[in-house]
A and B are shown apart, each in its own frame.
Chain A
C-alpha cells in the first residue's frame, strides 16, 4: 500500500513538472503589425493625402497615440514607404480573366484608414472623423467608427479633430480587441489565390485519373481538411482560378509555436506534388498565391 502511494505521488510530481515545462516552451504570440494611414481617393498618393490636410494629420497622430497608450507599436507609413516604395503585385504567370491589381501595404497586417472633414453650420463648427480598420490581406473589415466633435463657434478645427478622435477611438480599439479575441478562438484569416499557368494545359476542370474528381473539387476538399475548424469561404471558381478569400488558420501549431503561413503553403505544395502538379508560390503576409502547372 505504501509502495503504491509512493508511485502515485511520483507520477503526480512528474505530470505537474512536465506541464510547467510545456508552458515555459510556449512562444509568445506574434502580434499583428498595425499601420495608420490617411484616406486617399483612387489614384491619389497616401503622402499627398497626408500632407495636404492638417485635420488628417492631427487625426492620424491621435489614433496612433491611442494605440501607443495601449502598448501597441504602429508602423509609420511614410517611413515604410521610404524604405520600400509603393508595390504592386501582378500575377503575371497566371491566366486571368480580369485585370488583377493587388496593392500591398508592406509589413502591415492591419491598417487603420482615417478620414477627416469639417462641418460649418450656423449653430457652430464641428469635425467628423471616419476611422476604418481592415485586414491588409483579406480586406476583412475589423472595426468602423464615425466620430463627431462637439459643435463650437471656433475655427480651430485641429482641436475639434482631437476631440472627435478622443470620443470614439477607445471604442474603436475595443472593437478591434473583440476581433482579436475571435481570432484566438476561431483562427486568423489567410487568403488563398490559386491560378493556372497560362502556358499550361491544366485547368480547374481537370479530372484526376484516380479519383475522377475535378481539380477544383480536390482543392476545395483539401482546404476543408486543413482550414482551422474547417472554416473557409470560396469567393469564386473559374476555369483558371480559384479564390478563397477566407481560410482560417490557427494562431499556434500543435507544438505551441506561432503558426507559419509558409508551413500551410508547404503542405499545399506537397498535396499538389502528390497529384503530379507543380505549384509555384508567392507569399506576402497572409496572402498566398499559387500558380499551378503540370509536371
Chain B
C-alpha cells in the first residue's frame, strides 16, 4: 500500500507535464513587442542644397532613427558634417569648409566635439524643421530642412583656429 505522501507526489508528477504544455502554449500565443535597435550616428552623403543667399545656406538632409526627434537631430549633424568635411555638390559650399578632416579632428577634437556632438552648432542654425517623415518598419525616416548661417560658422571656426582665415 502506498503512503499518502507518495500518492500526492504521483499526482503532482502526473500534472506537471500537462501544466508545462499549457504554459508553453500560453507563451507562444502571446505577442512579443520587437525592440528597434539603436542606430548610432554615421555620416551619409544624403544632403543637398535647396536655397542660398549671401550668408546662408539651406539644405535637406535625410536620416533614419528610432524616433523622429532622434532622426531629426542626426539629420542636422549629418548636414553639418557634410558642410564641414565633405562639401555638397552643386551648392555654394562644394569644397569642405575644413580642408583636412583627420588633421582637424586630431588637433581640434574638443572644439569639434563641442560643435557637432554637444550641439553647439545650433547657434548657427537659423531654421530647422521636419520637411517629411514616415515610419519604415521599426524606424522613422526624416527629411530635415536646415538653414545654416555659413558666414558665422566659418568665422567661429577661424576664431577657434580650426580653419585658416582667407589668405596665405
Contact = CB atoms under 8 A, between A and B. Distances in A.
Main secondary structure of the interface of B (DSSP, over half): loop
A93 interface: no
Interface in B43-61: 52-55
Contacts of B167: 29, 31-32, 72, 180
Contact of A251 (B92, B99, B168): B168
B165 A174 contact: no
B93 interface: yes
A181 interface: yes
A184 interface: yes
A180 B168 CA distance: 6
Interface of B: 52-55, 92-95, 99, 150-151, 164-168
Interface in A98-140: none
- Size category, A interface: 20 to 34
Main secondary structure of the interface of A (DSSP, over half): helix
B165 to A, nearest CB: 6
B94 A174 contact: yes
A235 B27 CA distance: 86
A71 B95 contact: no
A211 to B, nearest CB: 38
24 contacts: A29-B167, A30-B168, A31-B167, A31-B168, A32-B167, A69-B54, A71-B165, A71-B166, A72-B166, A167-B52, A167-B92, A171-B92, A171-B94, A171-B95, A173-B166, A174-B93, A174-B94, A174-B95, A177-B164, A177-B166, A178-B95, A178-B99, A180-B167, A183-B168
Interface in A19-42: 29-32
